[in-house]
Amino acid sequence: MTKVREVAAAIEAFAPLGLQESYDNAGLQVGDPDAEVSGILLCLDVTEDILEEAARRSCSMVVSHHPLIFRGLKSLTGADETQRLVLRALRDGIAVYSAHTNLDSTRSGVSCEMAGMLGVRNLRPLEPSAPDAPTGLGVVGDIEPAPKLAFLRKVKEKFGVRALRYSAGRRDILVAKRVALCGGSGASLIEKAIDAGADVYITGDIKYHDFTGYGDRILLADVGHYESELCSEHIFSRIIREAFPEMVVYFPESESNPIKIM
């Protein structure tokens, strides 16, 4: 049978750990690398519901985008949620592997997946990991010219956004031609998107003062952190199914956005 370390190697061949940001903690989070994998449950965040679903479906491995262990653990007593989840994973024999900013920065990573959902082509990184490198955070590319509001409606539909937040300040953009995207919290790349000549920048977690400070220079669209990164599960699925065609891989039934809208 396939082992945990083999699944990890397949993911890291696609998204090398060396691409992760210095603050990140991608890689095997919990479990024995030599344990056999009976099935894999994919997710964005590791939660109590995810571990319960993994156990119910007889999955001995969970692959997530966001790391379960992000900061160092000084004890393992169940005193907080992270510790409780680690203890439950160990108790149930579930290995947890995470690919975070390395999956964001790799070629054909999260931002590229987002771009594919909207038909954006001729992609290049917004913030290359090295000069002229094909890897890096965010992407920018071209689309068939589309009226601004029609394009925003397409964004809303493709990402399943209930309430799309966008900047009202840039009134001269009537047609979208060049689009920049970044999964997760990408507000730090707004100026990069402007410098790249993007008409529209799509990301999550845009603050009020980002809208007021940059909204007259670029059309900003906030699809939400959760919504922008759900596509990571499809990337994981392709990697694993290609490397291990017989492996049972599940998309989660118990996953939900931790942010609710009334």
Q: What are the pLDDT digits (tens) for 209-248?
A: 999 999 999 999 999 999 999 999 999 999 999 999 999 9
Out of 23-32, 65-74, 119-128, 242-251, least confident range: 65-74
Stated as kind and residue range, the H or E segment containing 38 is none
* Side-chain-side CA neighbours of residue 197 (13 Å): 5
- For residue 204, give the DSSP letter: E
Question: Which amino acid, 104?
Answer: D
Residue 213, pLDDT score: 96
Mean pLDDT score, 44-59: 98
Q: Are 11 and 236 in contact (CB under 8 A)?
A: yes
**55 CA to centre of own chain:** 24
Report the share of the chain in percent with pLDDT over 70.
100
Q: Are 3 and 210 in contact (CB under 8 A)?
A: no
Report the share of the chain in percent with pLDDT over 90.
94
Residue 174 in this model has a pLDDT that exceeds 80: no
Mean pLDDT score, 27-49: 98
Residue 223, pLDDT score: 98
Q: How many other CB atoms are found less than 10 A from the CB of residue 58?
A: 10
Size of the chain in residues: 262
Mean pLDDT score, 26-46: 98
Residue 72 in this model has a pLDDT that exceeds 90: no
Q: Quick one: pLDDT band at residue 170, thresholds 50, 70, 90?
A: confident
The candidate with the shortest Cα–Cα distance to 37, out of 5, 76, 11, 72, is 5
CA distances from 73 to 24, 29, 70, 82 (A): 14, 11, 9, 9
Could you report how far apart the first and last alpha carbons of the chain are, in Å? 46
Q: Quick one: pLDDT band at residue 173, thresholds 50, 70, 90?
A: confident
Strands (E), 163-256: 165-166, 175-185, 200-204, 219-222, 249-250
Residue 144, pLDDT score: 93
- Contact partners, residue 260, CB within 8 Å, separation at least 6: none
Residue 99 in this model has a pLDDT that exceeds 80: yes
Q: Quick one: pLDDT band at residue 195, thresholds 50, 70, 90?
A: very high
Mean pLDDT score, 90-97: 98
Residue 201 burial (CB < 10 Å; 0-12/13-18/19+)?
Answer: buried
Mean of pLDDT over the chain: 96
- For residue 52, give the DSSP letter: H
Residue 220, pLDDT score: 97
Mean pLDDT score, 61-88: 95
The candidate with the shortest Cα–Cα distance to 6, out of 53, 61, 86, is 61
